Chain A
Amino acid sequence: MKTLLALVTSLLVTFVFAQPVQIGVLSPLTGGAAGTGLAQQAGFELALQEINAAGGVLGEPLEIIIEDTQAAAPVALAAFEKLMTEDGVEFIAGGYSSGVTLALVESFRTFQPVVTWIGGAVSGVGIDGFDGIEELLGEEDWFFHIHPWDYHNVEAATAFVVSTGVDSVALLHEDSAFGGPGAAGAEALIEAEGIEVTIREAFTSTLFGGTGDFRATISKAAATDADMVYWIGYDSDVVPMISQIRERGYTPQYIFGTPPGWPSEFADAREAECVTGLIGFLPNLPTTEAQAFTEAYRDLHGNEPDNYMAALAYAQLWAYADAINAAGTTEQSAVIEALEAGTFRSPMGEWAFTSSELTDHQGFGADLWLVFQYQDGVREIVWPLERATAPLQSCR
């Protein structure tokens, strides 16, 4: 009887441990943010291929289940609950949009899977009367935030602004949870550096129902004749924003934008010349890791990893694979310990979870960011200087 029991137990254990590890992914694959979601998917696919070619996770091929959030809170909630209740995953990856992330907070708390998250930059730090993601989830041991927080973004952007030597900045921003807090933080930091913010003006992004007519906003900025236009918006705002600044005849020394991505064809537009932008990864980043990632990405997908979310997604899935393999089990506390202790690979170089304002589970900080400038149709890295591929040019 004992032998039989041992045999059954052994078979059960083998069966349980032979199950491939599944990671649930929440990404916006359709809707206005689909470009970013599809970039994430491309990054996950490359990482998955490499992880499984290298032996998988716990000896089995890793599996991912991608659910489309459409960057909409109700859809994301349903997708997350489906991953929890129907698919029974224990690990969540992906992530996009601070609004969606805030809507998921209570559901995350209900199910408490291990969550690593590459979206949702709104920390809430420094904003009275508003609870941001870092404030709400920063102390949860199962939550790991990989994307820099808004204050990291602002810190990097401000350092660039200061490095240009401008005296005045017109700050234009879209009015959702992405642009509003970002602009508030930027205004405070820029003014603290002794640079005048001549105007801070909100607009409705084309991603959220705007028609892309920014002429009124630009006219107000042009009337202040600021040395720099610093705008915070989305990918689909790039063309109307830049072309309407040119159309207006407004020639600031620098036009600096911080959308999550830039339309790939925009590099060929004559109005792109001299425009600068903040980005987390560029294929021409002069490092071995970046070149290896770009080459592998190009081989798999046939195009360039233009959107930095592909690089972050790649880093995220590899972090899960390395942590679970290091833990030797899918048991939650062991994986959390491995995530806390590990150093992981990424196209941006090695990284680990460290401390930020309110959490000890923060992936990248201000040092993720690069500033590029369109020069003769190429996005040259112009800041920080140690990673620059070309010097910054003034446009006036």
Chain B
Amino acid sequence: MDISLIVQALVSGVLAAGLYALVSVGLALAIGVIGIVNFAHGEFLMVGAFLTFQLSVSFGLDPALSLLLVAPLLFLLGAVIYRATIQYVLKAPELNQMLLTFGLAIILQNLALLIWGGDPRSIGDVPYRALGFQVAGISFGAVPLASFLVSALLVGGLYYVLIKTPIGKAMRAVAQNRTGAALVGLEVNRIYLIAFALSAALAGLGGVMIAVIQSPTPVVGFAFTLKAFAIVVLAGLGNIRGVLWASLIVAVAESLVATLLPNGDTLRNAVFFAIIFVVLIANSRRPA
């Protein structure tokens, strides 16, 4: 095996980790702050991808600029969905919550099917989509690199907000003890709404990147929901900081397996399922 292939696999894995982190951190936020497992998380990504596509087709807006519109639109969509549905099941059994978000996923998929159809749609010409540069035989794609940097900035920004700002501290307080937070005067429901909307906005931003590098379809979010679950489980449910490391581990492991083994790309999903199994078994054997 050529050593440059291994280095290429490491580079590709690290760059892919950016997108994984961006999608997963939103899911971790929903689980950590609100305590809800959102099966519709990947559908927010899908809506973000289609909005980017539509903004490009209808107004000629460059996907890089559409980040500025898609984020607030997805924030708004997340807030509306929270108000219309999620807030009513917060005290319901977990199974009911999961069924609700699963239903939301199906509704969003079918709405997308009605609006954009089932054909894979792609933004006609994106000048930088196929752009790459080579350093010592190693390829760096412009889009994966930019997506990594944007994701790092956004995830870092989110971490700063959670640690340093009043709203971030309020989110952490609510996550630790809902009743206690309410007793000291925090508006728990409002904080939940902001956390859920932020989670949707982050997934939507991931969707912008997907719109550039892929052809959005109504089911494009499913694969990323699975990845995000694996990463969140590896990081520890709700652990925002751990998401960064977990994303890196999952993405690099996938890239190495895909490169080093024959037909390795077909084993990518096996990698993250193996990670989930190992983590769950290890956690269950840990002394209480």
Contact = CB atoms under 8 A, between A and B. Distances in A.
B214 A271 contact: no
B27 to A, nearest CB: 16
Interface stretch (B67-75, B79-87, B123-131): B123-131
Given A38-B119, A235-B119, A266-B124, 6 more contacts: A32-B217, A34-B218, A206-B217, A220-B259, A247-B142, A269-B125
Which of B118, B223, B259 is most buried by chain A, counting CB atoms within 10 A of its CB?
B118
Contacts of B224: 211
Contact of B266 (A204, A219, A264): A204
B5 A213 contact: no
B118 A34 contact: yes
Contacts of A124: none
A391 interface: no
Interface string A55-92: 00000000000000000000000000000000000000
Contacts of A32: 217, 219
Contacts of A217: 258, 265
12 contacts: A30-B218, A34-B218, A203-B265, A209-B222, A209-B269, A213-B255, A217-B258, A219-B8, A220-B5, A246-B130, A247-B131, A247-B143
Contact of A243 (B124, B129, B227, B264): B129
B178 interface: no
B134 interface: yes
B16 interface: yes
A211 B214 CA distance: 9
A109 interface: no
B132 A246 contact: yes
Nearest to B255: A216
A267 B268 CA distance: 30
List the 5 closest pairs (A to B, CB-CB), nearest first.
A34-B118, A268-B124, A35-B119, A216-B258, A246-B130
Contacts of B131: 247
Nearest to A218: B139
A270 B122 CA distance: 13
B130 A243 contact: yes
A126 interface: no
Given A34-B118, A204-B266, A247-B132, A238 B215 contact: yes
Contact of A271 (B129, B217, B227, B264): B129
A206 B142 CA distance: 21
A240 B264 CA distance: 17
Contacts of A215: 8, 12, 139, 141, 255
Nearest to B4: A223
B119 A210 contact: no
A223 B5 contact: yes
A304 B63 CA distance: 26
Interface in A233-270: 235-236, 238-240, 242-244, 246-249, 261, 263-270
Interface in B123-154: 123-127, 129-132, 134, 139, 141-143
Contacts of B113: 30, 34
A219 B132 CA distance: 13
A239 B222 contact: no
Interface string A193-220: 0000000011110100111111111011
B66 to A, nearest CB: 16
A35 B217 CA distance: 9
Contacts of A246: 130, 132
A100 to B, nearest CB: 16
Contacts of B129: 239, 243, 269, 271
Interface string B92-126: 00000000000000000110010001111111111
- A-side interface size class: 35 or more
A29 interface: yes
A236 B214 contact: yes
Nearest to B251: A213
Contacts of A277: none
A31 interface: yes
A265 B217 contact: no
Contacts of B231: none
B259 A219 contact: yes
Contacts of B119: 34-35, 38-39, 235, 261, 263-264, 307
A277 to B, nearest CB: 14
A240 B109 CA distance: 22
A135 interface: no
A239 B124 contact: no
Contacts of B214: 206, 212, 236, 239-240
Report which residue of A30, A36, A38, A219 has the largest number of chain B beta carbons within 10 angstroms of its beta carbon.
Answer: A219
A175 interface: yes
A288 to B, nearest CB: 28
B194 interface: no
Contact of B118 (A38, A219, A264): A38
A56 B182 CA distance: 70
B130 A271 contact: yes
Interface in A134-178: 175
Contacts of A226: none
A43 interface: no
Nearest to B269: A209
A236 B120 contact: yes
Contacts of B122: 238-239, 263, 265-266, 269
A266 B122 CA distance: 6
